[in-house]
């Protein structure tokens, strides 16, 4: 058993810790650093300078690469990957995007250009969209199940153009004898991580995904989901799991960090309505959890309160270095072929996890 | 002031692209231009790399409004503006004027308005808006081109810069309030100085010309 280990690189700015939700790094709130102020004037640094530091830190810490996630009001993964393509040497850039953003021929051209710039280090995270007001914000009126049909067609066209001489008259895209130019042709197609928890997503993933990517859920639910995907796949699929980790020398230190964050968390804001099945599943796992942060530990070290302390999904792992490593090994044993870890702040936690957790993993 | 922008070699390699970009920056050129070349590298990827490699020069990318939704183009570009201190520009070419007009209406709308809605023939958006942080930078400088009445009318409404070729009658065609840019080769540049505000210079030896042109202006 072995697994690729990715880190997550924030696009939304970064917090100093889980104890305060202020994004003091990256220029999303007044004050803070990258950009900062020096002598009363902007210092000229940007969020990209800090993102680059996180990329270099995680590459040095031993990670395979990083997921660059996509949200409406954050920086953009294609823009960040294209800007930083030449600044690491082994690091893979996993670019999250929705098929509705770009024409598939353009996505193929951009990806092939980046493959050339990086020596083949681009990975895709295809997301079909959280739906609701957020989809309309993007100018995307295609509804939930149709978005997966479009995703399938998008990937058919992208792969066809990549292979060359591709003609397609479909519901969403028309392409006539399209190829990449000689300069861009013949490079490896980026591996595809495919997200989505609904039956429509799982059906589409079966056709196109190299990796089926899920947020962390209680392990039995995750195992069940993996079984569903296997049932829809002609070839045995590979699995990726997105896992936040809060690991410290001792279990007590880790929970103390959570306790302080929980005490300082802002009152729950109104959530944007969407048709994300993943969000609904996470909420269901916590339906019986009582008050207090420890009530959200639904299984040993599996904690469902991260969404209260930072932007992103609910579940992650909390515990000592050894405990977190043991849980990650369990995920690998469950069938995870890739783990996408994350922690806040993204830079220091990548260094910590690289130094103290990764060496304890048996499965890599 | 006359601006000199050097066209980046569309077929790379990336090492050369970066050295040309740094050369233009070091030698005080005003801008870089990432052309749209069906046989070459993607212009948006090239432009992002050029902006990262430079401190002062502007970089414009030529692309078609058909390749992306305007909301996504705005979002991608808002990040490049944040990353570069507002040095990114768009040369929109390759689509009919009505498509380009809608593309710019939506992109500018989500950049400037908090709750922007638009229902067009080609593009739409409901309660869009990048928000104050992403849209804090300037909207990309807009370059348009073409000499038909519809293209010139589009420029009058939307362009900061209109791109001409040496044979065009710039004085007769240039819409009011728009800056003229002229596409010339490095060899032709001297013959055309004075005709336009911006020169988009193509060169078979872009690295050498980055320094040569820069030094000729200070010398």
Nearest Cα to Cα of residue A128 among A198, A182, A183: A198
Radius of gyration of chain A (CA): 20
What is the residue whose two structure tokens read 């909390």?
A: A318
Chain B residues within 8 A of A105 when measuring between CB atoms: 67
pTM of the model: 0.96
Q: Compute the nearest-CA separation of B125 from chain A (Å).
A: 4
Averaged pLDDT score across all residues of chain A: 92
CA A245 to chain centre: 14
Q: What percent of chain A has pLDDT over 70?
A: 97
Choose, out of A9, A23, A43, A76, the residue to mutate when testing the contact with B (most B CBs < 10 Å).
Answer: A76
Is the sign of the CA dihedral A104, B110, B150, B86 positive or negative?
negative
What is the residue whose two structure tokens read 């336009």?
A: B196
Nearest-Cα residue of chain A relative to residue B55: A44
Q: Compute the nearest-CA separation of B7 from chain A (Å).
A: 18
Interchain pair B79, A79: CB under 8 A: yes
pLDDT tens figures, B5-22: 999 999 999 999 999 999
Interchain pair A116, B12: CB under 8 A: yes
Chain A residues within 8 A of B128 when measuring between CB atoms: 136-139
Q: Are β-strands A238-248 and A316-320 bridged in parallel, bridged antiparallel, or unpaired?
A: parallel
According to the 3-state scheme, what is the secondary structure of A77-106? HHHHHHHHCCCCCCCEEEEEECCCCECHHH
Q: Angle at CA A181, nearest 5°, toward A178 and A182?
A: 130
Chain B residues within 8 A of A76 when measuring between CB atoms: 75-76, 78-79
Q: Compute the nearest-CA separation of B91 from chain A (Å).
A: 16
Q: Compute the nearest-CA separation of A288 from chain B (Å).
A: 35
Helix (H, G, I), strand (E, B) or coil at B53: helix
Task: Indicate if the pLDDT at residue A126 is higher than 60.
Answer: yes
Distances (CA, A) of A240 to A44, A90, A211, B125: 38, 20, 6, 33
What is the residue whose two structure tokens read 């004027």?
A: B97
Give the Cα separation of B170 and B184 in Å (integer): 14
Q: Compute the nearest-CA separation of B75 from chain A (Å).
A: 7
> Mean pLDDT over residues B173-180, rounded?
98
pLDDT tens figures, A151-208: 999 999 999 999 999 999 999 999 999 999 999 999 999 999 998 877 788 777 778 8
Task: Indicate if the pLDDT at residue B52 is higher than 60.
Answer: yes
Task: Indicate if the pLDDT at residue A349 is higher than 80.
Answer: yes
Residue with the bigger pLDDT between A264 and B200: it is B200
Helix (H, G, I), strand (E, B) or coil at A162: helix
The partner residue sitting opposite B49, judged by closest CB among A105, A106, A117, is A117
Which residues, including other chains, have CB under 8 Å from residue A28's CB and lie 6 or more apart? A12, A13, A47, A74, B133
Q: Are β-strands B116-119 and B124-128 bridged in parallel, bridged antiparallel, or unpaired?
A: antiparallel
Give the Cα separation of A139 and A100 in Å (integer): 9
User: How large is the ipTM?
Assistant: 0.97
What is the residue whose two structure tokens read 């030449």?
A: A86
Band of pLDDT at residue A269, cut at 50, 70 and 90: low
pLDDT at position A275:
66
Neighbours of B165 (CB within 10 A): 11
**Domains of chain A (ranges, CATH numbers):** 4-243+319-360 (3.20.20.30)
Give the Cα separation of A84 and A101 in Å (integer): 21
Interchain pair A137, B75: CB under 8 A: no
> Mean pLDDT over residues B159-183, rounded?
98
Is the sign of the CA dihedral B69, B75, B76, B81 positive or negative?
positive
Question: What would the two tokens of residue B103 be?
Answer: 């593309």
Nearest Cα to Cα of residue B206 among B49, B4, B8: B8
pLDDT at position A271:
47
Which residues, including other chains, have CB under 8 Å from residue A303's CB and lie 6 or more apart? A246, A258, A293, A296, A297, A315, A316, A317, A318
Question: What secondary structure does DSSP assign to A266-323, as a single string?
Answer: PPPPPPPP---HHHHHHHHHTTT--SSGGGGEEETTEE--HHHHSSS-S-EEEEEHHH
Q: Where are the alpha helices (DSSP H) in B54-181?
A: 70-84, 97-112, 149-158, 170-173
Backbone angles phi, psi at B142, to 5 degrees: -100, 120
Tell me if chain A has a CB within 8 Å of the CB of B122.
no
Tell me if chain A has a CB within 8 Å of the CB of B217.
no
Give the Cα separation of A328 and A312 in Å (integer): 19
The answer to whether B189 and B199 are in contact (CB under 8 A) is yes
Nearest Cα to Cα of residue B63 among B39, B43, B38: B43
Give the Cα separation of B112 and A273 in Å (integer): 25
Q: What percent of chain A has pLDDT over 90?
A: 76
**Domains of chain B (ranges, CATH numbers):** 3-218 (3.20.20.30)
Task: Indicate if the pLDDT at residue A231 is higher than 90.
Answer: no
Tell me if chain A has a CB within 8 Å of the CB of B42.
yes
Containing A45, the helix (H) or strand (E) segment is: none
Task: Indicate if the pLDDT at residue B174 is higher than 50.
Answer: yes
Distances (CA, A) of B35 to A4, B88, B91, B206: 37, 14, 9, 13
The partner residue sitting opposite B127, judged by closest CB among A82, A136, A184, is A136
Give the Cα separation of A3 and A355 in Å (integer): 17
pLDDT at position A290:
76
pLDDT at position A272:
47
> Mean pLDDT over residues B97-113, rounded?
97
Band of pLDDT at residue A1, cut at 50, 70 and 90: low
pLDDT tens figures, A285-295: 888 877 789 99
Tell me if chain A has a CB within 8 Å of the CB of B83.
yes
> Mean pLDDT over residues A7-26, rounded?
94
Give the Cα separation of B203 and A3 in Å (integer): 48
Band of pLDDT at residue A134, cut at 50, 70 and 90: confident
Which residues, including other chains, have CB under 8 Å from residue B68's CB and lie 6 or more apart? A101, A102, A103, A106, B76
Question: What would the two tokens of residue B2 be?
Answer: 């006359």
């Amino acid at each position: 058993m072995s697994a690729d280990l990715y880190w997550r690189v924030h696009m939304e700015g970064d917090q100093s810790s889980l104890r305060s939700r202020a994004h003091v790094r990256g220029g999303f709130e007044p004050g803070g650093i990258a950009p900062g102020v020096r002598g009363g004037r902007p210092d000229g640094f940007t969020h990209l300078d800090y993102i680059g530091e996180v990329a270099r830190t995680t590459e040095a810490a031993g990670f395979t690469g990083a997921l660059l996630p996509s949200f409406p009001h954050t920086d953009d993964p294609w823009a960040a990957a294209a800007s930083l393509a030449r600044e690491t040497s082994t690091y893979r850039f996993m670019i999250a995007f929705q098929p509705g953003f770009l024409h598939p021929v353009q996505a193929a051209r951009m990806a092939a250009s980046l493959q050339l710039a990086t020596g083949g280090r681009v990975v895709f995270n295809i997301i079909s969209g959280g739906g609701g007001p957020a989809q309309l914000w993007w100018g995307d009126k295609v509804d939930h199940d149709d978005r997966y049909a479009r995703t399938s067609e998008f990937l058919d066209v992208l792969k066809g153009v990549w292979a060359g001489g591709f003609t397609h008259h479909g519901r969403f895209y028309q392409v006539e004898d399209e190829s990449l130019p000689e300069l861009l042709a013949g490079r490896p197609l980026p591996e595809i991580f495919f997200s989505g928890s609904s039956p429509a997503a799982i059906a589409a993933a079966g056709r196109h995904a190299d990796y089926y990517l899920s947020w962390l859920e209680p392990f039995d639910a995750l195992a069940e989901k993996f079984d569903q995907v296997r049932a829809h796949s002609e070839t045995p699929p590979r699995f990726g799991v997105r896992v936040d980790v809060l690991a410290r020398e001792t279990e007590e230190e880790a929970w103390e960090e959570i306790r302080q964050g929980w005490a300082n968390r802002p009152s729950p804001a109104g959530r944007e309505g969407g048709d994300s099945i993943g969000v609904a599943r996470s909420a269901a796992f916590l339906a019986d959890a009582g008050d207090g942060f420890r009530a959200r530990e639904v299984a040993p070290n599996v904690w469902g309160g991260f969404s209260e302390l930072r932007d992103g999904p609910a579940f992650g792992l909390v515990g000592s270095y050894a405990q977190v490593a043991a849980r990650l090994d369990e995920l690998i044993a469950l069938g995870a072929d890739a783990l996408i870890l994350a922690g806040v702040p993204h830079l220091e936690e990548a260094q910590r996890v690289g130094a103290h957790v990764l060496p304890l993993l048996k499965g890599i | 002031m006359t601006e000199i922008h050097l066209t980046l070699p569309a077929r790379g390699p990336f090492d050369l692209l970066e050295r040309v970009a740094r050369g233009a920056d070091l030698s005080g050129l005003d801008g870089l231009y990432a052309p749209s070349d069906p046989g070459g590298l993607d212009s948006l990827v090239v432009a992002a790399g050029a902006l990262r490699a430079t401190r002062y020069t502007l970089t414009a990318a030529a692309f078609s409004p058909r390749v992306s939704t305007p909301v996504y183009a705005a979002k991608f570009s808002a990040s490049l503006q944040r990353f570069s201190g507002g040095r990114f520009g768009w040369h929109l070419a390759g689509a009919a004027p009505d498509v380009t007009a809608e593309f710019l209406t939506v992109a500018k709308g989500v950049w400037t308005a908090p709750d922007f809605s638009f229902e067009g023939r080609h593009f739409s958006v409901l309660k869009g808006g990048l928000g104050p942080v992403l849209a804090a930078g300037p909207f990309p400088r807009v370059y348009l081109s073409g000499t038909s009445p519809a293209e010139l009318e589009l420029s009058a409404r939307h362009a900061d810069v209109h791109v001409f070729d040496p044979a065009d009658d710039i004085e007769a065609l240039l819409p009011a309030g728009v800056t003229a840019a002229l596409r010339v080769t490095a060899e032709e540049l001297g013959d055309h100085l004075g005709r336009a505000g911006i020169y988009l210079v193509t060169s078979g030896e872009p690295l050498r010309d980055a320094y040569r042109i820069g030094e000729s202006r200070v010398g």
